[in-house]
Amino acid sequence: MKIAVINAGSSSLKFKLFDMQTKEVLKSFNIEHIGENGAKFNNHHEALESIDVDFSSLDAIGHRVVHGGEEFKESVLINGEVIDTIDKLSTLAPLHNPANLEGIIVAKKKAPNIPHIAVFDTAFHSTMPKEAYLYALDYKMYEQHKIRRYGFHGTSHAYVSKEAAKILDRNINELNLITLHLGNGASACAVKKGKSVDTSMGFTPLEGLVMGSRSGDIDPAIVLYMQRELGLSVDEVDKALNKESGLLGICGENDVRDILNSKDEKAKLALDMMIRRIQKYIGSYMALLGRVDAIVFSGGIGENSPYIREKVLESQMFNGIKSLVIKTNEELEIANECLRVLKK
Ligand code: ADP
C-alpha cells in the first residue's frame, strides 16, 4: 500500500511517499518559496504538478492540518463538510489552515478518486480535561469565542509516546510520559496512558517554552504595556512576540548550534532561560502525573544536543527517571493515521 503525506505551508509544500508495508520513504520532495517573487512555482497547484509521482498508484493521501478546533478530535476522511469546517477554523490559525486547505484542494484535483485524510496538530490534545484547557477568563470567552488551550505538535507527541512504549517494551496504557518536542517551535506534553492530559502550547503556538523566536509564557499585561506605553500596534506586538523574542530576542541567534558555539554571555543566558523553562514544565507535569516512567526528548534540539538534555536533567528532582531520545516522524504518524482511518 502506498500513502502520500502532504504538508502545505503558505509558501511551501512538503511531500513524502511511504510504502506502508515497509514504512520506507519511496519519494520525498520539499518545495519552498512558492508564489514568491521570481519563484519557480506561482502556486501550490504548479508545485504539486511538478512532483514526479504517479498519483494513480496512490492508495490515499494524508494532509497535515494545524488547527482542528473542538470539531476534530481525531483524523478524518475529507469531504465537503470537513473542508468547510477547516476553512471556518482559519480564524483560529490564519497563517496555517488556509495553506493546509490549499494543499487539500489541489491534491484532491490531482487525485480525485482516492481517500484524502486530514490529520490535525491539535487532535492529540483533545483528551485534555477541562481544568487543563480552560483559561481562567470570563467563561463567555470560551463559550462564545472558543478561547481555550488547544495545544499543537500533537502528531509528534503522539508518535514519540508510542515509540517510547515500544522502546520500554511496555503497554502505553500503563505509562506516564513527559514528551518534549524541542525544535524551532517547542512544546512539552504530559501523556497519561497514551493520552495528552496537559501541554505547554495554548490557544496558539506562542505559549509555553522559550522557543527560537517566540517568547513562550509571559505576563499578558506586557502586551497591554507594549501597546499603551510603547505605542506598538497589534501587528507590531504580534511580530515582537512571535518573530523577535525567544532565543533570538535574548542573544540575536535562534539556531541552537550557533548559540552553543558562541562565547557571548547572552548566548549562555538564552540557553539557561530555555533550559530553566523546560525544567519548570517537567516539574509541573511530574506533579500532575504523580509517577513518570520516562522523559522523552525529540525535535532538532532534543534529538541532537546532549548538552541541552544533560542540563535539563540536572535537576535533582528528575534523578532516577529514565530519559529517552526519540527521533520524531510526523509524516509517518500521519501516514499511520491514514491507515487507521481507512480500516474503520
Ligand atoms: P522545526 O521546528 O523548524 O522543525 P527542528 O525540529 O528541525 O525545527 O529543530 C531546529 C533546531 O534544532 C534548531 O534550533 C537547530 O539549531 C537545532 N539543532 C539541530 N541540530 C542540532 C545539534 N546538533 N545540536 C544542537 N541543536 C541542533
pLDDT of 95: 86
| CA–CA gap between residue 266 and residue 264 (Å, rounded) | 5
| CA–CA gap between residue 155 and residue 225 (Å, rounded) | 36
User: Using CA positions, which residue lies closest to atom 24 of ligand 1?
Assistant: 305
CB of 185 sitting under 6 A from ligand 1: yes
Tell which atom from ligand 1 comes closest to the C-alpha of 258: 16
Strand partners, 276: none
CB of 300 sitting under 6 A from ligand 1: yes
CB of 301 sitting under 6 A from ligand 1: yes
State how far the alpha carbon of 205 is from the alpha carbons of 29, 62, 122, in Å: 26, 22, 10
| CA–CA gap between residue 45 and residue 125 (Å, rounded) | 32
Residues 121/153, Cβ–Cβ less than 8 Å = yes
CB of 262 sitting under 6 A from ligand 1: no
pLDDT of 48: 93
Burial class from Cβ neighbours inside 10 Å (0-12, 13-18, 19+) for residue 21 reads exposed
Residues 324/164, Cβ–Cβ less than 8 Å = yes
C-alpha 130 – ligand 1 centre gap (Å): 33
Residue 212, C-alpha cell as written in the block: 527560537
CB of 249 sitting under 6 A from ligand 1: no
Tell which atom from ligand 1 comes closest to the C-alpha of 254: 14
Confirm whether 121 is a catalytic residue: yes
Query: How many other CB atoms are there within 10 angstroms of residue 261's CB atom?
Result: 10
CB of 327 sitting under 6 A from ligand 1: no
C-alpha 219 – ligand 1 centre gap (Å): 27
Helices (H) and strands (E) in the chain, counts: 14, 11
Cα distance from N-terminal residue to C-terminal residue, the chain:
16
Residue 130, C-alpha cell as written in the block: 477541562
Q: Which residues contact 58 (CB under 8 A, 6 or more apart)?
A: 2, 3, 4, 17, 111, 114
Ligand 1 mutation target, pool 66, 184, 187, 274, most atoms within 8 A of CB: 184
State how far the alpha carbon of 262 is from the alpha carbons of 35, 80, 104, 197, in Å: 36, 52, 42, 37
CA neighbor of 187 nearest in space, from 158, 163, 211, 167: 211
Q: What is the pTM of this model?
A: 0.96
The model's pLDDT over 243-292, given as tens digits with 9 standing for 90+, comes to: 999 999 999 999 999 999 999 999 999 999 999 999 999 999 999 999 99
Residue with cell 499543537: 152
State how far the alpha carbon of 328 is from the alpha carbons of 142, 157, 180, 189, 264, in Å: 32, 8, 10, 14, 31
CB of 305 sitting under 6 A from ligand 1: yes
pLDDT of 10: 87
The model's pLDDT over 64-99, given as tens digits with 9 standing for 90+, comes to: 999 999 999 999 999 999 999 999 999 999 889 999
CB of 274 sitting under 6 A from ligand 1: no
C-alpha 327 – ligand 1 centre gap (Å): 12
Helix axes 265-289, 306-313, angle to 10 degrees: 50
Low-confidence ranges of the chain (pLDDT < 50): none
> Catalytic one among 121, 138, 169, 264?
121
Ligand 1 mutation target, pool 256, 259, 328, most atoms within 8 A of CB: 256
Residue with cell 527560537: 212
Beta pairing, strands 294-298 & 322-325: parallel
Domains of the chain: 2-120 (3.30.420.40), 170-330 (3.30.420.40)
C-alpha 257 – ligand 1 centre gap (Å): 7
